[in-house]
Structure 1
Amino acid sequence: MVSANDFIPLPYTHTIESGHFQWSAPSNIALVKYWGKKENHPSLKGELAKQIPANPSVSFTLNTCKTITKLAFAKKKNDTNFSFDLLFEGKPKEDFKPKIQKFLERIALYLPFINDYHFTIDTQNTFPHSSGIASSASGMAALAMNLMSLEKALNPAMTEDYFYSKASFLARLGSGSACRSVKGSLVVWGNQANINGSSDLYGVAYPQAIHDNFKNFQDTILLVDKGEKQVSSTLGHDLMHDHPFAERRFAQAHENLDQLIPIFESGNLNEFIKIVESEALTLHAMMMTSMPYFILMKPNTLEIINTIWKFRNETQIPVCFTLDAGANVHVLYPENVKEKVLQFIKHELVGYCQNGQYLCDEIGNGAERI
């Protein structure tokens, strides 16, 4: 089994003075939800222990909702502090810098070269910044890919498997779900006995059979509320520590992931829908029963859910919803019903979206070098 220590590098074999890399990394949408972090993980200490999932998750990697990040670097002289400039869509973004600073502090043990360079991080999203879509997963994944490209330049013998596993490991230290935005159309994060190679430390491409029904799956994101969440995901995760239903929830996630294994293989869309919608509602049930309790769904979120249920019941078209930790609704459906579902969305669901806005996406293959 891979441990965090396996990602501490040996002395580098090459040097490089300056240059740049550019990567894109997509958002992802969890089918089995990650909500809650382990405390006092035996193999890790301090800050690193806080980014270990209390339960496994599995997600679809998206295709067009992504972050594009260019990392320029130049060797410094006699300066051992972290040094970087941060641009968002070409303009300085000072309020993002503390999160990047914390990320660099967390990964310094695993990428010791980061003290040797001044970095210019220039990042942009393909989706509107104020859309209410979380960009931390795609943003941290894209940054991790660039940093790993620099490490590979310093150590060209690095294997591809190590490159992607370590990129996912590093991305996780910036934002937990970012580890699911590195590779694969379907990604598992967290130890799951029946899934070979699964790990709490990084995401892995789902290694077992996937039916054609789940290839080219569609995700239309309905932008119900584009404002900032009233409760951060970090606080929400922390509230699971003393949650009265936490242990049962963590067991349920393992059970649901086990149930998805034969579903992914057989292509059983009805059973897929049951698990995915139950997971979404369970996530929000955990929020509503924590202390303090909170509700991130909006009235229009519920209207959309009820309208989807009515449409599916009347037409037998296999369309379902999922939610992240917010009010927006992800409408999931196979490609072969795309035309009918988009008509339904335009006629019956757009009215519930803020300013009528929604984004059409589909399953993608992870990060790409540009």
Structure 2
Amino acid sequence: MFSEKDFIASNYSEINNATFQYSAPSNIALVKYWGKKENQIPANPSISFTLNNCKTITKLSVENKKSIINNSLENKISFDLFFEGKPKESFNPKIEKFLERILVYCPFLNDYHLTIHTENTFPHSSGIASSASGMAALAMNIMNLEKELSPSISDDYFYSKASFLARLGSGSACRSIKGEVVIWGNHKEVSNSSDLFGVEFSNIHSNFKNYQDTILLVDKGEKQVSSTVGHNLMHNHPYAEKRFEQAHENLSKIKDILSTGNISEFIKIVESEALTLHAMMMTSMPYFILMKPNTLEIINRIWKFRNETQIPVCFTLDAGANVHILYPENVKEEVLHFIKNELVDYCQNEQYICDQIGNGAKSI
């Protein structure tokens, strides 16, 4: 098990320049993380499906500052950021904050000017959180740079530190490094679990292999409540402690469910967790309702369809209005028919994205 001190890089070499490229997916939590402590430490453990198609592709080029003529960048973080080929000034503060936060663990970053080119395979304004995939992809590139400077580091160290760094950019990003299922946060029944980084959960029943996630884009607008604000609402929340207890209990249950293949119990936990997340926001101060009328209509239609057909389809939600529909691959044809015939009218511009469980970040 790695500690925070283990991730402080030392005994590394120098290079003149290099280029790396990684893709990293988004993920969807089954047991939700809501509420955090200092330094992006979760108030409760969570478990997620790593997705496959909704991902960020990031290329990182580094140039040693010593080789830059008239270098005025020494002893400070320097980078240029391009999103879909164009400078994106609005992203710079978040990237700068992230790089400053990880500098103690990656001091070599001060020696290089970074050029970051990034793009998403899904529309940036689609209402799908891109911070998880974006920070995970950037963290993987930075760890590739560290591997170049210190070739002896182990694969275990590489992936654990990549998850650790990603977490410092966006909490849930630590769950986008590996796949198919990732646990983040200390849990008494998971021997290698940690608040510092995500760990892969590998004992998955065949019922959950290639599990499908079709994302209905109900509202593609900017988030009504930022993640930081939302998590902070759990401080002094009247139901916070019971919620954290519930998350531990539900993670115990769903861990067993994923191993035994019990889809009906999976549905109960996943839908309950989604509604609990929104209940926490509705009972905080200030309070928010992030679901839209169409979100509720979709949920009711899913319940009706499941009751009438006995097809094991369920929903989950992030902190927004969009609906993730989860179902086994062997009922894909029936569920997509249901979505096209009954649910697309409740999506903004009839848009939805088909995805499924994936295997995490990849070098390109």
Shorter-chain TM range is over 0.9
> Which residue number corresponds to residue 56 of structure 1?
45
Question: What amino acid sits opposite 2:81 in the alignment?
Answer: L
Q: Which residue of 2 aligns with 1:92?
A: 87
Q: What is the Cα deviation at residue 161 of structure 1?
A: 0.5
In the alignment, is residue 71 of structure 1 matched against residue 73 of structure 2?
no
With 262-271 and 317-326 compared, the bigger mean Cα shift is at 262-271
Matches within 5 A, 1:298-309: 298-309=292-303
Distance in 2 (alpha carbons) for counterparts of 1:27 and 1:343 = 25
> Does residue 293 of the first structure (1) align with residue 292 of the second (2)?
no
Residues 317 and 337, structure 1, Cα contact 8 Å, conserved in 2 = yes
| Counterpart-to-counterpart distance in 1, 2:332 and 2:143 | 37
Gaps of 5+ in 1: 39-48
| 1:45-103 deviation per Cα after TM superposition (whole angstroms, max 9, x unaligned) | xxxx3300000000000000000000001000361111100000000000100000000
Q: Does the Cα contact within 8 Å between 1:72 and 1:120 map onto a contact in 2?
A: yes
Matched, 1:264 2:219: no
Matched residue type, 1:57: S
Assess if the C-alpha contact under 8 Å between 1:184 and 1:204 holds in 2: no
Distance in structure 2 (CA, Å) of the matches to 1:265 and 1:87? 42
Q: What code does the residue aligned with 1:328 have?
A: N
Query: 2:103: which partner in 1?
Result: 108
Q: For residue 212 of structure 1, what is the aligned residue in structure 2? A: 206
Aligned to 2:5: 5
How do 1:119-268 and structure 2 match up within 5 A? Answer: 119-207=114-202, 209-268=203-262
Output the CA distance in 2 between the equivalents of 1:248 and 1:34. Answer: 14
Whether the 8 Å CA contact 1:75–1:116 is kept in 2: the answer is yes
User: C-alpha separation between the residues in 1 aligned to 2:82 and 2:173?
Assistant: 20
SS of structure 1 residue aligned to 2:42? coil
| Matched residue type, 2:335 | V
* In 2: Cα distance, 1:266 partner to 1:284 partner: 28
Residues matched between the structures, number: 358
Larger deviation: 279-288 or 69-78?
69-78
In 1, distance between residues paired with 2:279 and 2:181? 25
Task: Provide the secondary structure at the position in 2 that maps to 1:140.
Answer: helix
Of 320, 323, 326, the match for 1:329? 323
Mapped partners of 1:99, 1:15: distance in 2:
27
SS at match of 1:348: helix
Look up the match of 2:16.
17
CA apart distance, 1:5: 0.6
Please give the alpha-carbon distance, in whole angstroms, between the structure 2 residues aligned to 1:297 and 1:145.
33
* RMSD, aligned α-carbons: 0.8
Structure 2, unmatched stretches of 5+, are none
C-alpha displacement of 1:223: 0.1
CA distance in 1, matches of 2:171, 2:62: 26
TM-score (norm 2): 0.97
Please tell me the residue identity of whatever aligns with 1:59.
Answer: S
1:357 pairs with 2:346: no
Measure, in 1, the Cα distance between the counterparts of 2:342 and 2:258: 30
Q: Which residue of 2 aligns with 1:279?
A: 273
Cα drift, residue 196 of structure 1 = 2.1
Aligned to 1:34: 33
Q: Secondary structure at the match of 2:127?
A: coil
